[in-house]
Structure 1
């Protein structure tokens, strides 16, 4: 096996993230991977981001100017990139130890690879490990298009893609401002790109109360639905449950503190399923009969069965009759 070090361009979109930008840059440079360029596209930060970028000298390339948000920054960054392989790292996230070397080894081992997809984890605000990030299956016999439909997201900074594949699908979708990553993965899968899985932790995604994902969840889900409708013509049970759970939490409070929470969540699921999938009547009707919720979270397989609902209703009726 050859030991070629592919040239990798890492784009870092940034805006007022001076508290984290050094960690993001250092997490790349500390790996001592020679064939890498770091391109920081800052949206005209008003904090100390620019001062910190200046301190890195010629080890990075950067601009700071007003833009139209993260997607615009990514489009700018990738247009300036010169690497054969591309990825992006949000300014409050970081790469794991040896990530670049492991990606390079996967590329060398799989010369036809066009997308390398590794593991990732959520991190606390201080960068300490919180929990693993969910991931789709990857393999030669796996239908990646279907995987992304059924299972949703992956750790965005743990995905590296070949420039030629990125250009073939038209790059980052300028209409997506929250799930531009998911939209890109689906289009790469729809193209028939060769995905290679990497069973190593490649990145850490900081999760705290004022991240964009945490504060604008419904907008993110709306874009994910738009992507699924555009690419598949329907919405998967995964996203229906994620959305119905979120709406339930908004209107009814935390799951386990709400009386009859499983039954109410089941009703929310069926209502959201109908609204999102009415365009495909056959799929919609089949899902109304067959699909149901998990008892906890979309990524957990503890499915609520109809007999669970019947047993719950009987239990409630029995208590009322006994009064």
Structure 2
């Protein structure tokens, strides 16, 4: 069994973070560590997490943003694989086991994401989100670049070695930092999708505002075009190939 480091970045979300930790402790896959990176919380997050004792590693740092918190977790991780669980998200009990089984069956897989549920403040499932399955690395690159689907951070499982090629999260991005990261990962890895929901994305008053922030960062697009070596003609070709529903990928 390969060890997984589950990283939970948090900021002033004590109650949510406790539930996130509980969802990881309930995993059927047991070879993991939990690293909670408290990004300068001023609430009772630290006190609430004391209930878990040595079941988690708690790291407190000055508020630097979500990218810096994830990077701190990666740098302290001892596992061969990295999983992220945002503090207001939750894992379904068999998430890690199913993902590790998938990787065992697909030994070339280094970068794996899955479907997930949207859950409202009452704990009710409101929608099943189904990111595309892309059979080609170029298809994944295009679909991510064109924002044809979103990879939810809390569905991801990837080899820690991926960050040596793709780099860490860009700490100047407080929004769309995950989009930037997936685009860079897709430059080196195909990316696989496990087509079943394995995580829950909880929608609440604190995170709804971020959904409407359209900071798609022209800089991210420009950097990606350089990284991929794409021009306008190439993008038009990719639009013809992958812009509509194709046999090689599933529109969701």
- State the TM-score bracket (shorter-chain normalisation): 0.7 to 0.9
Distance of 1:200 and 1:73 partners within structure 2: 28
The secondary structure found in structure 2 opposite 1:37 is strand
The aligned residue for residue 28 of structure 1 is: 24
Match of 1:48 in 2: 44
Do residues 59 (structure 1) and 52 (structure 2) align?
Answer: no
* 1:243-262 to 2 correspondences below 5 Å: none
Q: Which runs of 4+ in 1 moved over 4 A?
A: 279-284
Structure 1 or 2: more helix by fraction: 1
Counterpart residue number, 2:209: 215
- Say if 1:197 and 1:281 are closer, same or farther in 2 by CA, change over 3 A: closer
> Does residue 223 of structure 2 align to residue 230 of structure 1?
yes
Q: How many Å separate the matches in 2 of 1:205 and 1:282?
A: 34
> What is the match of residue 297 of structure 1?
none
Alignment correspondent of 2:243: none
Q: Give the equivalent residue in structure 1 for 2:65.
A: 69
Alpha-carbon distance in structure 1 between the residues aligned to 2:43 and 2:201: 22
Q: Offset at 1:174?
A: 1.7
TM-score (norm 2): 0.84
Q: After the TM superposition, which of the residue ranges 139-148 and 78-87 deviates more from structure 2?
A: 139-148
Q: Which residue of structure 2 aligns with residue 176 of structure 1?
A: 173
Tell me if structure 1 keeps the 8 A contact 2:15–2:48: no
Q: Which runs of 5 or more structure 2 residues have no equivalent in the other structure?
A: 240-250
- The separation in 2 between residues aligned to 1:30 and 1:102, in whole angstroms, is 14
Q: Which has the higher contact order (CA 8 A, sep 6+)?
A: 2
> 1:90 Cα deviation (Å)?
0.9
Contact 1:139 1:197 survives alignment (8 Å): no
TM-score by length of 1: 0.66
The structural deviation recorded for 1:180 is: 1.4
Would the alpha carbon gap of residues 103 and 224 (structure 1) be closer, same or farther in structure 2, given more than 3 Å must change? Answer: farther
Between the aligned partners of 2:13 and 2:20, the Cα distance in structure 1 is: 10
Aligned residues: 234
Shift of residue 210, structure 1, vs aligned partner? 2.5
- Cα distance change on mapping 1:28 and 1:141 into 2, 3 Å: same
Question: Are the structure 2 counterparts of residues 31 and 218 from structure 1 closer, same or farther at C-alpha, using a change threshold of 3 Å?
Answer: closer
- Between 1:132-141 and 1:66-75, the stretch displaced more is 132-141
Aligned 1:147-186 pairs, distance under 5 A? 147-150=143-146, 151-186=148-183
- 2:248 is aligned to none
Does 1:37 pair with 2:37?
Answer: no
2:93 maps to 97
Q: Counterparts of 1:43 and 1:141 in 2: how far apart (Å)?
A: 34
| Residue 48 of structure 1: how far off its partner (Å) | 2.1
> Whose radius of gyration is greater, 1 or 2?
1
Structure 1 stretches lacking a partner, 5+ long: 234-278, 288-299, 302-323
Residues 224 and 130 (structure 1 numbering): CA distance in 2 closer, same or farther, change over 3 Å? farther
RMSD: 2.6
